[in-house]
C-alpha cells in the first residue's frame, strides 16, 4: 500500500472518530447553528433589509460570523482530547502526526461549513441581498477561506491545549494569522456581490491559495513537535 493511501486512511480514521463522537453529542453543532442564526438576527436588525448600503457591509458581516463560528470549533479540536485524557492515546497510536493534523483540520472545516450553510441563506433573507455572480465562484471563495481558517485554527487549538488560559490564547494567536486569509476573503466576497467574474477575484484567490500552501508547509514540518513536546 502506497504511503499516500496510508496517510489518507489514517487521516480518515481521525476524522471519522471525531465526527462519530460529535454526532452522538451534537453540542458543538447546535452551538454553531444557534450562533449563526443569532448573528444574522443581530446584524439584520442593526442594518435593516431596506438599507441601501447593505452590500457594503455584507462581506464583513459574513466573514466575521464565520470567524467566530471557527472560534467555537477550535475549542473542540485538540482541547477536548487533552481534557478527556485522550491525547496520550493519539500520541501512542501508529498514526503519523501529519495525518492526525489533517484529520483534525478536516473536522474543523466540516463544522465550519455546517455553520456557513445556515449562515449564508438566512443572511440573504434577513438582509435582502443576493450574489449576482456565478454561484460556483461563491462556493470556491467560501470553501478556500474556510479551509484556511480551519487549518490555522487546528494548529492554534493544538497549541492552546497545553495552557490554562485557553480563552485568551486562542484569540491572541488568531490575531496575527487569521487576517492573512480573512482580508482576501472579504474582498473577494464583496466583488461577488457586485456581479464580478472570475477574472476580478483571481488576486484574492491567489493570496488565499498561497496562504494555504504556506500554512500547510509550515505545519507539516512543525506539528510533530507541537504534538509530542
List, for residues 106-155, the tens digit of each pLDDT value: 999 999 999 999 999 988 888 888 887 788 899 999 999 999 999 998 88
At 229 the pLDDT is: 63
List, for residues 66-122, the tens digit of each pLDDT value: 998 988 888 778 777 776 667 777 777 788 888 888 988 999 999 999 999 999 998
List, for residues 157-200, the tens digit of each pLDDT value: 888 777 777 677 777 888 888 888 999 999 999 888 888 888 88
CB atoms within 10 A of CB 164: 8
Highest mean pLDDT: which range of 42-46, 79-83, 142-146, 217-221: 142-146
Report residue 46 CA to chain centroid gap: 25
Q: Which three cell numbers stand for residue 79?
A: 482541547
Q: Where are the alpha helices (DSSP H) in the chain?
A: 3-25, 27-47, 54-74, 79-84, 87-92, 97-127, 135-160, 166-177, 179-192, 198-228
At 223 the pLDDT is: 83
| Model pTM above 0.85 | yes
**What size, in residues, is the chain?**
229
What is the per-residue burial (b if ≥16 Cβ within 10 Å, else e) of 184-223? bbbbbbbbbbeebeeeebeebbebbeebbeebbeebeeeb
At 228 the pLDDT is: 75
Q: To the nearest 10°, the Cα dihedral for 48, 178, 14, 159?
A: -130
At 63 the pLDDT is: 94
Amino acid at each position: 500500500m502506497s504511503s499516500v493511501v496510508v496517510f489518507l486512511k489514517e487521516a480518515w480514521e481521525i476524522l471519522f472518530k471525531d465526527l462519530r463522537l460529535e454526532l452522538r453529542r451534537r453540542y458543538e453543532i447546535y452551538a454553531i447553528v444557534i450562533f449563526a442564526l443569532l448573528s444574522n438576527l443581530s446584524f439584520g436588525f442593526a442594518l435593516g433589509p431596506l438599507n441601501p448600503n447593505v452590500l457594503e457591509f455584507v462581506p464583513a458581516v459574513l466573514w466575521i460570523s464565520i470567524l467566530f463560528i471557527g472560534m467555537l470549533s477550535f475549542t473542540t479540536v485538540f482541547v477536548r482530547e487533552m481534557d478527556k485524557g485522550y491525547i496520550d492515546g493519539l500520541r501512542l497510536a501508529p498514526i503519523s502526526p501529519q495525518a492526525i493534523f489533517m484529520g483534525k483540520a478536516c473536522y474543523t472545516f466540516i463544522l465550519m461549513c455546517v455553520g456557513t450553510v445556515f449562515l449564508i441563506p438566512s443572511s440573504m433573507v434577513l438582509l435582502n441581498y443576493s450574489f449576482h455572480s456565478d454561484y460556483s465562484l461563491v462556493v470556491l471563495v467560501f470553501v478556500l477561506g474556510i479551509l484556511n481558517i480551519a487549518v490555522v485554527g487546528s494548529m492554534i487549538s493544538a497549541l492552546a491545549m497545553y495552557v490554562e488560559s485557553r480563552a485568551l490564547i486562542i484569540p491572541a494567536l488568531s490575531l496575527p494569522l487569521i487576517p492573512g486569509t480573512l482580508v482576501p476573503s472579504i474582498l473577494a466576497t464583496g466583488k461577488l456581490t457586485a456581479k464580478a467574474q472570475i477574472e476580478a477575484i483571481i488576486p484574492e484567490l491567489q493570496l488565499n491559495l498561497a496562504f494555504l500552501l504556506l500554512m500547510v508547509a509550515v505545519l507539516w514540518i512543525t506539528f510533530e513537535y507541537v504534538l509530542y513536546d
